[in-house]
């Protein structure tokens, strides 16, 4: 063979050529090794000697092709590349997954059109026992042996100038594998335009799954994926970084599209907490996403995308608080709650705020991020006067706290407006007491809520409750007590007028029976308030009635008159009062005559 045109063995940027291989001979060596692999007499990645010969021959041909464009060399190289690409795909392809097609769910990216067999990945030698724990940090099905073979193939294809084909195939399979991993977590790939069309019941579940998927991806899957890329492209760190950056960019953008779809749904107060969950997820994973070693351009893009998504969710959260305000303002129901009980709106708003306090830190971050958004400014302005009226500084003055106070003011106004629906003034004050007590008890039971509103606010609440209590007593029992006033009972000659006394007893009986008839169904759900009312009424009425009966009973003409006009013993009255405010007090039994 004429060796005047052959390459002398030397170092190059593609590696070293075997000293004992005559470069043109590799054109003949390579097909023989390919035939051995394809016939099954040898498996790439299993026979070290054959692999070394094959790769050395391929390296030599690749070097030859740089200067010699002969068809034989180019054809040998093309066949070798096709074989390696097929082996690469077989190793990357999960046994149960289908061959990737031209499109994938995670955004636009290069497709890989080389023929890929659908059969299972080639069997690899058993993994060493000591490698088990090391492999836990890599995606499933990638043993140390498998990663080693992938590294050989990638390095050979890149050295031969087939970097594009190698990267396209690797990226396509890993995106499909990542999609499969997310599906195993319960994540469905839903288009953004379909997200905002979802019914809330469905979207609520999707948000919960999304939170888990995003957290798992950024803390576990991305880390394992990065180690795989660095292992396979160990000798080409820039390629590893770019491939990984492309994957992460596609996955994150796809996941954030869900957020952009969700915030387009109709805002309502009930959605607040799921959206706060999304905000917390974005906040918690932001350092992992923006602080990882991506390409510079990728890092900038991801930081912008995550920040934009956080802003959109924050605006939606603030909007939902505004929706809560609007729902209170627009509640113009004209039917009073039966028996003066706690209004459903009061229960809803207080339970809502109590639950919102579990997200206090997050909510404060959201509101500070969105200061100036419609609704917050209103809350701040409306509370300037309140904060200036002797606030001792214990109240939280954050934008979020001021929003709470706005909601509470609206609720107060709503309760006050609804109290006027009751024709009976006494029942109106029972209604105000019920709702006020419910609010106070919620404050006492939630430390964060108490801190947000402040000590002064809570003290003013207690004072208002005491005022309602006094007003109820005045409206209900003041006229009853007038019947028991001894003044005015004496007629001519300073003697007690029997007629006036009879009228006093008759008035007392009539008034008490009327009060009992009306108030026996009135409801006070708070046991402590119920007890306080009973005790205060008893202390107000019973001593006065007992004293009046004891002082004037003997002025009645006969025992018959006594029974007729003193229908109730003081102990009986006390028993009747004891059954007030439970919503179903027993009727007063008719007295036998």
DSSP-derived secondary structure for 166-193: HHHHHHHHHHHHHHHHHHHTT-----HH
* Residues 429/430/435/437 CA torsion (nearest 10 deg): 100
Encode pLDDT of 32-50 as tens digits. 888 888 888 888 888 888 8
pLDDT at residue 561, as a whole number: 67
Q: How far apart are CA 273 and CA 204, in angstroms?
A: 10
Q: State the sign of the Cα–Cα–Cα–Cα dihedral 68, 71, 73, 75.
A: positive
Q: Extract the residue ranges of the chain whose pLDDT is less than 70.
A: 1-28, 66-71, 94-136, 291-292, 372-396, 491-493, 561, 590-593
Query: What are the strands, taking DSSP E only, across 266-358?
Result: none
Q: How far apart are CA 83 and CA 116, in angstroms?
A: 10
Instruction: Report DSSP state, residue 490.
Output: B
Which residue has tokens 């034989």? 72
Nearest to 110 by CA among 166, 178, 148: 166
| H-only helix segments in 68-98 | 71-92
Angle between helices 360-369 and 399-419 (to 10 degrees): 100
Q: How far apart are CA 421 and CA 336, in angstroms?
A: 6
Q: How far apart are CA 488 and CA 471, in angstroms?
A: 26
pLDDT at residue 531, as a whole number: 96
pLDDT at residue 386, as a whole number: 43
Question: How buried is 455 (Cβ within 10 angstroms: 0-12 exposed, 13-18 middle, 19+ buried)?
Answer: middle
Cβ–Cβ under 8 Å, residues 281 and 268:
no
pLDDT at residue 88, as a whole number: 93
pLDDT at residue 393, as a whole number: 47
Cβ–Cβ under 8 Å, residues 117 and 98:
no
Angle between helices 399-419 and 425-445 (to 10 degrees): 160
Cβ–Cβ under 8 Å, residues 27 and 63:
no
| H-only helix segments in 93-143 | 132-135
């Amino acid at each position: 063979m004429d060796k005047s045109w052959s390459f002398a063995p030397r170092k190059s940027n593609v590696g070293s050529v075997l000293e004992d291989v005559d470069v043109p001979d590799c054109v003949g060596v390579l097909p023989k090794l390919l035939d051995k692999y394809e016939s099954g007499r040898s498996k790439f990645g299993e026979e070290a000697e054959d692999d070394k010969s094959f790769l050395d021959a391929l390296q030599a041909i690749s070097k030859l092709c740089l200067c010699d464009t002969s068809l034989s060399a180019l054809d040998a190289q093309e066949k070798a590349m096709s074989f390696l690409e097929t082996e690469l795909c077989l190793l990357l392809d999960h046994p149960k997954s289908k061959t990737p097609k031209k499109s994938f769910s995670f955004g636009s990216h290069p497709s890989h059109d080389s023929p890929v067999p659908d059969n299972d990945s080639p069997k690899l030698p058993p993994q060493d026992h000591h490698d088990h724990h090391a492999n836990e940090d890599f995606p499933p099905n990638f043993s140390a042996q498998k990663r080693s073979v992938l590294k050989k193939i990638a390095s050979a294809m890149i050295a031969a100038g087939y970097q594009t084909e190698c990267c396209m195939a690797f990226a396509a399979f890993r995106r499909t594998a990542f999609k499969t991993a997310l599906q195993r977590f319960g994540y469905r790939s839903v288009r953004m335009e379909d997200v905002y069309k979802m019914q809330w019941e469905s979207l609520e579940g999707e948000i919960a799954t999304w939170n888990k998927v995003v957290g798992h991806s950024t803390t576990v899957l991305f880390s394992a994926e990065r180690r795989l890329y660095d292992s396979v492209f160990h000798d080409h760190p820039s390629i590893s970084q770019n491939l990984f950056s492309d994957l992460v960019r596609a996955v994150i953008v796809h996941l954030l599209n869900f957020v952009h779809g969700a915030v387009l749904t109709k805002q309502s107060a009930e959605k607040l907490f799921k959206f706060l969950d999304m905000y917390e997820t974005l906040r918690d994973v932001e350092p992992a996403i923006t602080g990882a070693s991506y390409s510079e351009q990728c890092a900038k893009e991801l930081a912008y995308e995550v920040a934009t998504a956080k802003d959109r969710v924050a605006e939606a959260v603030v909007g939902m608080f505004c929706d809560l305000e609007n729902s209170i303002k627009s509640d113009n129901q004209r039917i009073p709650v039966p028996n003066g009980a706690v209004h459903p709106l009061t229960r809803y708003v207080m339970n809502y705020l109590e639950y919102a306090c579990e997200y206090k830190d997050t909510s404060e971050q959201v509101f500070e991020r969105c200061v100036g958004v419609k609704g917050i400014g209103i809350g701040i302005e409306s509370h300037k006067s309140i904060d200036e009226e002797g606030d001792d500084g214990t109240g939280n003055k954050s934008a979020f706290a001021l929003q709470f106070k706005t909601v509470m003011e609206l609720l107060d106004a709503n309760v006050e407006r609804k109290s006027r629906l009751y024709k009976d003034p006494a029942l109106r004050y029972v209604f105000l007491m019920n709702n006020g007590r419910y609010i106070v008890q919620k404050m006492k039971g939630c430390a964060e809520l108490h801190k947000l509103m402040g000590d002064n606010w809570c003290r003013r609440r207690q004072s208002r409750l005491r005022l309602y209590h006094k007003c109820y007593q005045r409206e209900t029992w003041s006229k009853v007590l007038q019947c028991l006033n001894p003044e005015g009972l004496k007629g001519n000659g300073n003697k007690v007028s029997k007629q006036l006394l009879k009228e006093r007893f008759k008035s007392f009986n009539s008034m008490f029976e009327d009060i009992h008839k009306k108030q026996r169904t009135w409801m006070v759900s708070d046991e402590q308030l119920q007890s306080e009312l009973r005790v205060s009424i008893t202390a107000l009425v019973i001593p006065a009635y007992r004293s009046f009966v004891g002082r004037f009973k003997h002025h009645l003409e006969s025992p018959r008159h006594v029974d007729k006009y003193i229908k109730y013993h003081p102990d009986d009255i006390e028993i009747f009062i004891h059954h007030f405010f439970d919503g179903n007090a027993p009727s007063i039994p008719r007295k036998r005559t």
